[in-house]
Amino acid sequence: MTTPRRWWKTIIGLALTGVMLFPVYWMINVSFTRDRDMRKSPPSWFPADPTLDGYRAVIDQQLPYLGTSLLVGLGTVALTLVIAAPAAYSLARLRPRGGTALSFALLIAQMIPGIIMAMGLYATYLNLGVLNTLPGLIVADTTLAVPFAVLILTTFMTGIPRELLHAARVDGAGTVRTFWSIVLPVSRNATVTVALFTFLWAWSDFIYASTLDSGGDHQPITLGIYHYIGNNNQQWNAIMATAVVASIPATALLVVAQRYVTAGVTAGAVKD
Amino acid sequence: MTRTAPAPTRRPASTRGGPVRQGPGHRRAAWAAWGFLVPITAYLLAFYAYPMYRNLELSLRHYTVRSFVQGDAPFTGFANYLKVLTDATFVPALWHTVVFTVVSLAFQFTLGLGLALFFARHFPLSATLRALFLVPWLLPLIVSASTWAWMLNSDSGVINAALGAIGAGPVNWLTSPDWSLWSVTIANIWIGVPFNLVVLYSGLQAISPAVYEAAALDGATGWQRFRHVTLPLLRPVSAITLLLGLVYTLKVFDIIWIMTKGGPSGSSTTLSTWSYRLGFGNLVPAFGPGAAVGNILIAIALAFGLLYIRLQRRQDPS
């Protein structure tokens, strides 16, 4: 292929990316638009007279929500890894009888629609008295990630060279020791992938937040935005500014850890 | 919502470490193996199996708010299912689910495939642009949904402004029963294209260049190469992408609920938003019927889900 032709593709590619990312641009544009320009017709295509009012509203009103989301995200990551990593090690290397059935159960588990999980969890939580609590929300959010985490980690741990584990055994390391000192450190990349996606999903969760934590004192940012819209709030710059801030983890993820993201997606991450 | 499944492509090729089963430590090894599985087993039982059981129970009893708390609701068999199936909302909701799913999948897949083909040959900046295409897929759904809601606003939305500029009349995207389902479908297509792009791209990369060279030597034109080489070789990956997309599109809830709440007058209600409305959306919750709708949805999703697992097993015998 000749060089000019390749540059043509770059130009077309830029145009396509522009079209695809237009909604993202529009969100940013609106977040800087003044209230009085909000219903202008036609709308301004770029913030000619920008304002930070929207972002001021975020700082005034949304910081607690952001803090809650951060906490829920970190808690979900920790709990997911604690449950998934030992399971993956066992399924990949120790391979007990019945392991296949468990893997199958995990595949099925991740196909269950969230709304159904939410209803079942609601009934369960009501009896346990953990509705509208953060631990309850964290546990619910882990159901978004645990099957994925086990699958990714199992695939990765299966690929660890047998010699490495054998050497550990010769040196007298037991199963637990091998897992903790060899398998976990070696699986760092897969663990990072899992942690990043888990955080993102917990951060983005709306369905569990709205069903299990809608009356809670501490609510995540997705509910913060939802209340904004629901209040018939006409301050779309504030709504969109919150949306921009809520998008920061996703963007950071893509910038900092792009190769992990692509690995996670091709490992079959599906968003619905 | 986000969910995942194992890769149709790029699995490490059979480097499975075998279990250490010989020797006197055999039984102890088996115990250790299950010891590591105790947390996940307990977890699956407590937070998947039990809620699913509760859900089934909800659908088979007549629950009121009081009996919901006290747990003494009378058993009513399939009364909730009968009530739901004969409800005037059922047929439209099912139909909207089908339209939403089929149209979303068709466009996501076609656009994803076109883009994957476009990006298949490297060009300057191609990796960066491909990464940027992932952004819609990574954004929280509430962000995407509220952005689209404002873009599609009848009076001040940028879409109607653009339509006005080319002389087309304003469309009441979210407030007209004729358009609401299309609006949420458009937003959902936008969110799903990146996934199709990335998976199909990795599928294309897995096709050996030698096959194309052979086809080119035989004098195949670009279209013939696509039609007779790329498409057949991409079929396994395509089938899995579509089936998985189907299972996950069936349960889309956030986008529709945030953009239209299933309205106006039920015109964008799908099975999942209906289930939510019954269980959580009203002042007086109807948990029984809500759970019944949910279980109908799960039956449909699992039917296709099992088909997916079968397909994948056949391709990836490990």
Q: Do B3 and A272 touch (CB under 8 A)?
A: yes
Cβ count within 10 A of residue A34: 16
Beta bridge partners, A271, equal B2
Give the one of B51, B139, B156 whose C-beta lies nearest to A124's C-beta.
B51
Q: Do A151 and B5 touch (CB under 8 A)?
A: yes
Q: Which of these, A154, A270, A111, A194, lies nearest to B48 by C-alpha position?
A: A111
Q: Domain spans of chain A?
A: 61-266
The tens digit of pLDDT for each residue in B8-24 reads: 433 343 344 444 444 55
**Judging by beta carbons within 10 Å of its beta carbon (0-12, 13-18, 19+), is residue B318 exposed, middle or buried?**
exposed
Q: Which of these, A22, A230, A206, lies nearest to B255 by C-alpha position?
A: A206
Q: How far is Cα A250 from Cα B222, in angstroms, rounded to an integer? A: 38
Residue of A nearest to B16 (CA): A158
Q: Do A207 and B279 touch (CB under 8 A)?
A: no
Least confident of A145-149, A250-254, B94-98: A250-254
Give the one of A117, A197, A254 whose C-beta lies nearest to B131's C-beta.
A254
Judging contacts by C-beta atoms under 8 Å, the chain A residues touching residue B144 are 23
Q: Do B118 and A12 touch (CB under 8 A)?
A: yes
Residue of A nearest to B293 (CA): A116
Is residue B48 assigned to a domain?
no
- Sorted by sequence, the CB contacts under 8 Å of residue B217 that are 6+ apart come out as none
Q: Do B195 and A86 touch (CB under 8 A)?
A: no
Q: What pLDDT, on a 0 to 100 scale, did the predictor assign at position A70?
A: 94
> Could you say which DSSP state residue A89 is in?
H
- Copy the structure tokens of residue B111: 């656009």
Specify the residue for token string 């009356």.
A215
A38 against B252, higher pLDDT: B252
Is residue B22 assigned to a domain?
no
- Residue A267: pLDDT band by 50, 70, 90 thresholds? low
Q: Where are the alpha helices (DSSP H) in chain A?
A: 3-20, 22-31, 53-57, 63-89, 99-109, 114-128, 134-142, 146-158, 162-170, 175-178, 184-186, 188-204, 207-212, 221-230, 236-246, 248-256, 258-266
Judging contacts by C-beta atoms under 8 Å, the chain A residues touching residue B134 are 254, 261-262, 265
Residue B4 above 50 pLDDT?
A: no
DSSP element (H, E) containing A270: strand A269-271
Judging contacts by C-beta atoms under 8 Å, the chain B residues touching residue A12 are 118
Residue of A nearest to B157 (CA): A43
Q: Do A267 and B6 touch (CB under 8 A)?
A: yes
Give the one of A38, A115, A253 whose C-beta lies nearest to B253's C-beta.
A115
The tens digit of pLDDT for each residue in A143-171 reads: 999 998 998 898 888 888 888 888 888 88
Judging contacts by C-beta atoms under 8 Å, the chain B residues touching residue A33 are none
Q: How far is Cα B204 from Cα B189, in angstroms, rounded to an integer? A: 21
Residue of B nearest to A95 (CA): B19
What CATH number is associated with residue B263? 1.10.3720.10
Q: Which of these, B241, B237, B215, B219, lies nearest to B228 by C-alpha position?
A: B215
- Sorted by sequence, the CB contacts under 8 Å of residue A267 that are 6+ apart come out as A151, A152, A155, A193, B4, B6, B7, B10
Q: What pLDDT, on a 0 to 100 scale, did the predictor assign at position B12?
A: 40
Q: What is the mean pLDDT of chain A?
A: 86
Structural domain count of chain B: 1
Give the one of A115, A139, A246 whose C-beta lies nearest to B275's C-beta.
A115
Q: Do B190 and A23 touch (CB under 8 A)?
A: yes
Judging contacts by C-beta atoms under 8 Å, the chain B residues touching residue A86 are 36-37, 39-40
Contact status, residue A260 vs residue A269, Cβ threshold 8 Å: no
Q: What pLDDT, on a 0 to 100 scale, did the predictor assign at position B303?
A: 87
Q: Once rounded to an integer, what is the mean pLDDT over residues B190-210?
A: 88
CATH class of domain segment(s) A61-266: mainly alpha
Q: What pLDDT, on a 0 to 100 scale, did the predictor assign at position A123?
A: 87
Q: Which of these, A26, A75, A13, lies nearest to B115 by C-alpha position?
A: A13
Q: Do A127 and B39 touch (CB under 8 A)?
A: no
Size of interface A-B (CB pairs under 8 A): 364
Judging contacts by C-beta atoms under 8 Å, the chain A residues touching residue B136 are 20-21, 23-24
**Judging by beta carbons within 10 Å of its beta carbon (0-12, 13-18, 19+), is residue A102 exposed, middle or buried?**
middle
Judging contacts by C-beta atoms under 8 Å, the chain B residues touching residue A21 are 132, 135-136
Judging contacts by C-beta atoms under 8 Å, the chain B residues touching residue A270 are 2-5, 195, 244-245, 248
Domain that holds residue B198: 78-315
Q: What pLDDT, on a 0 to 100 scale, did the predictor assign at position B316?
A: 60
Residue of B nearest to A82 (CA): B39
Judging contacts by C-beta atoms under 8 Å, the chain A residues touching residue B52 are 112, 116-117, 120
Taking CA atoms, A1 is separated from A144, B123, B128, in Å, by 44, 10, 20
Q: How far is Cα B116 from Cα A71, in angstroms, rounded to an integer? A: 37
B100 against B161, higher pLDDT: B100
Residue of B nearest to A260 (CA): B131
The tens digit of pLDDT for each residue in B132-166 reads: 898 998 899 999 999 999 899 888 888 888 888 88
Specify the residue for token string 């039984």.
B27
Is residue B282 assigned to a domain?
yes
Contact status, residue A147 vs residue A85, Cβ threshold 8 Å: no
The tens digit of pLDDT for each residue in B230-263 reads: 888 888 888 878 888 888 888 889 999 999 988 7
Q: What pLDDT, on a 0 to 100 scale, did the predictor assign at position A237?
A: 87
Amino acid sitting at position B5: A
Residue B221 above 50 pLDDT?
A: yes
Q: Once rounded to an integer, what is the mean pLDDT over residues B180-187?
A: 95
Judging contacts by C-beta atoms under 8 Å, the chain A residues touching residue B272 are 113, 115
The tens digit of pLDDT for each residue in B21-74 reads: 445 567 777 788 888 999 999 999 999 999 999 889 888 988 777 777 777 778
In this structure, the strands spanning B2-4 and A269-271 are antiparallel
Q: What pLDDT, on a 0 to 100 scale, did the predictor assign at position A77?
A: 96
Q: Do A1 and B161 touch (CB under 8 A)?
A: no
In angstroms, how far is CA A53 from the centroid of its own chain? 28
Q: Do B244 and A270 touch (CB under 8 A)?
A: yes
Q: How far is Cα B60 from Cα B81, in angstroms, rounded to an integer? A: 8
Q: What pLDDT, on a 0 to 100 scale, did the predictor assign at position A3?
A: 62
